[in-house]
Amino acid sequence: MSSSAGDGLAPPSSASKGKARMDDDAVALAPEGVPCGICFTDSRRAIRGELDCCAHHFCFVCIMAWARVESRCPFCKARFRTIRRPPVPGRLPSERVVNVTERNQVYHPRGNVSSVVSTDPYVNSGCSVCNCSSDEDLLLLCELCDVASHTYCVGLGTTVPEGDWFCKDCETSKEEHSRCQIDDGGSSDHGEIEITIEVPTAEPVTEPSASDIVDEGYSLSSVRRTNTRSSGTTWVFSSSFCL
C-alpha cells in the first residue's frame, strides 16, 4: 500500500532511491560464486561479511581487517557501521553482527594510517563473556574484531598470550578463510610478498686495444709503441690531429 502526503511521512529522497536501486540491482545481478572484492576468494566457500550500507561481496575476515583502517566500502565508499557474519552449518551455528568503529584512512608519508573519528573505542571495553570490566591487565582484545575477553574467561587462566590473539569466532573464521584460499589454489599468507633479486654474473673484461684507447680525432699512424721498465709496453700519442 502506497503512502500519501496525508500520512505525515516524507517521501524518500532521490539519493536514497538511487542507492536502494543500486543495491537491489547488485543482489539481482550478482552471479553465484562471485569472488571477494579484496582477496578474490570464491564466495560460495568463503564466509561472507555483509555490510549494512551496500551489497558488495567481501569475505568476513577481509572486510573486518579493512574496517580496522577505514569504515567505508572499498568500492562505493559508503559508510558502514555493522558487519554481519551469517551462520555457517557445522562451524558457526548462529549469525553474528559486529559493530564497527567509525574510522577514516588518512595519508601519511610513511604509509596510510587510520584515524578514529569518534571517541576511543577501548575506554569502556568489557568482557564479552562475564560482562565485567575489572582486571584490565587480564583483558584481551581480539586482533580482528576488537571484542574483549578476560584470560580466565577463555580458558587461559591468568596467562596473557604473546603476540596477536583472536576470539573463538574470528579464529574459526580465519581457519575457514585459509582453507578456502588453499582450495582455490592460492596461498593462505596473502599480503606477504616475497622479493627475489637476481645478481648477474660478471662477464670477463677484455683488454682494450689501441683503437679503443685512441680518440677518433687522432690518426693511428701517429701512435708509436715504446718499452718502459715499470709498466712494460706503453702507448705514446703525438700532438698532431688528423684533419
Q: Where are the domains of the chain?
A: 20-120, 122-176
Residue 23 confidence (pLDDT): 47
Mean confidence (pLDDT) of the chain: 74
How far is it, in rounded angstroms, from Cα 152 to Cα 163? 18
Domain 122-176 has CATH 3.30.390.50: no
How far is it, in rounded angstroms, from Cα 50 to Cα 35? 14
Find the helix or strand (DSSP H, E) in which 141 lies. Answer: strand 139-141
Residue 204 confidence (pLDDT): 58
Residue 160 has pLDDT above 80, yes or no: yes
How far is it, in rounded angstroms, from Cα 180 to Cα 44? 10
In the structure grid, which three cell numbers stand for residue 144, read together?
A: 580482528
CA distances from 197 to 194, 200 (A): 10, 10
Q: Say what percent of the chain tops pLDDT 90.
A: 44
Query: How many CB atoms neighbour CB 80 within 10 A?
Result: 21
The structural architecture, per CATH, of the domain 20-120 is 2-Layer Sandwich (3.30)
Q: What is the pTM of this model?
A: 0.61
How confident is the model over 103-150, as pLDDT tens digits?
998 877 776 666 666 566 677 789 999 999 899 999 999 999 999 999
How confident is the model over 227-238, as pLDDT tens digits?
444 444 444 444
In the structure grid, which three cell numbers stand for residue 63, read together?
A: 572486510
How confident is the model over 179-203, as pLDDT tens digits?
888 876 654 444 432 333 344 445 5
Please check whether the two domains, 20-120 and 122-176, share a CATH topology: yes
Task: Determine contact, residues 53/138, Cβ cutoff 8 Å.
Answer: no
